[in-house]
Amino acid sequence: MKLLIALLSFTLLTACEHIKEESSGNPAIEGWYADPEGVVFNNEFWIYTTLSDLSPEVKENAPELKKKTRAVHQIYNVQTYLDAFSSKDLVHWTKHPKVLSIENIKWLEFALWAPAIIKANGKYYLFFGGNDIQNDNQCGGIGVAIADNPAGPFKDALGKPLIDKIINGAQPIDQFVFRDDDGSYYMYYGGWHHCNMVKLSPDLLRIVPFEDGTYYKSVTPENYVEGPFMLKRNGKYYFMWSEGSWGGADYSVAYAIADSPYGPFDRVGKILQQDDKIATGAGHHSVIQIPGKDEWYIVYHRRPLGDTDQNHRQVCIDKMYFDENGYIKPVKMTFEGVKAIEID
């Protein structure tokens, strides 16, 4: 009997190790991270993250937690750098620490958030939010940094924010840059339940007017809170965003489908939300498409069950599917994550 139990235990352990080797597991990345931006560069997967919290042993002696600033939460004083992670197969990840940090942004004081990255003009442009401004008299907003490779180091390109004012009620945070098929670059951004759209210059360092002469368009869909994202599939524009409270269990992702990058974005419904058997607070996502294939992965953060610390967020990856009519199927959150896949 003892021999049988030992054999069964060994078989179970071997099976678990095999599953771990062949799938990413969720969380896919170790540590407290949020707002993941998943992309493909040079046949390699990359995820750029917001630092959400520190480990207890590091946090205990972090001098930033004693720093006096106007930050709404003291933890924002720690959030002064962005880490990135790269992988050949979505399973095995290499950490690239501090690809962008406060040392390379002279106007940043705290709250370096929500990376959005795009390759253009032979360089990598990393857009970010900084200083969590609460009114137009404070310094901060959305900035842009540039590097020659996706691992950085990125350096602030302007020496000041690209957007530093609250326009149409949208706090300048949570930016996403989308390149349309005609080569136009658009940025969607905004917190506080408002979303704006702007058009970027070819060098991605200026906001240029739309054809009607305006610079900012409000494109806020129903129930929008923050975290916009755009993808294009079969000629349709899928606009996605986060709903609920970023620190609450009800954080979730919804979407709309439009025929134009300008909308209108009529809400279809939620595709990612809490699961009482898996995790809560699932939101602020991005989507990775396997180049040349109709194969999609959603990269998002969520909070472990029973953990009420709003900054305890973890980066996870799951498959995302479309139905035969082009609608996004509800995403099933898992602990297993995704299987290894390499780009041809």
User: Does the active-site annotation cover 226?
Assistant: yes
Query: E strands of the chain, at which residues?
Result: 33-41, 44-51, 81-87, 94-101, 113-120, 123-130, 141-147, 155-156, 176-179, 185-189, 196-200, 207-208, 217-218, 226-233, 236-243, 252-258, 267-272, 279-289, 296-304, 314-320
- Comparing CA positions, the residue from 307, 342, 339, 341 lying closest to residue 26 is 339
User: Does the active-site annotation cover 132?
Assistant: no
pLDDT band at 8 (very low <50, low <70, confident <90, very high): very low
Report pLDDT digits (tens) over 48-91: 999 999 999 899 888 888 889 999 999 999 999 999 999 999 99
Per-residue pLDDT, 22:
84
Neighbours of 259 (CB within 10 A): 10
Domains assigned to the chain? 33-320 (2.115.10.20)
Sequence-distant (6+) residues with CB within 8 A of 212 are none
Report pLDDT digits (tens) over 181-197: 999 999 999 999 999 99
Find out whether 178 and 185 touch, Cβ atoms under 8 Å.
Answer: yes
Report pLDDT digits (tens) over 166-179: 999 999 999 999 99
pLDDT band at 19 (very low <50, low <70, confident <90, very high): very low
Residues β-bridged to residue 178: 186
Cα 146 to Cα 17, 83, 314, distances in angstroms: 40, 15, 26
Report pLDDT digits (tens) over 103-148: 999 999 999 999 999 999 999 999 999 999 999 999 999 999 999 9
Active-site entry in 35, 37, 53, 83: 35
In eight-state DSSP terms, residue 327 is: P
Per-residue pLDDT, 15:
39
Active-site entry in 37, 64, 109, 226: 226
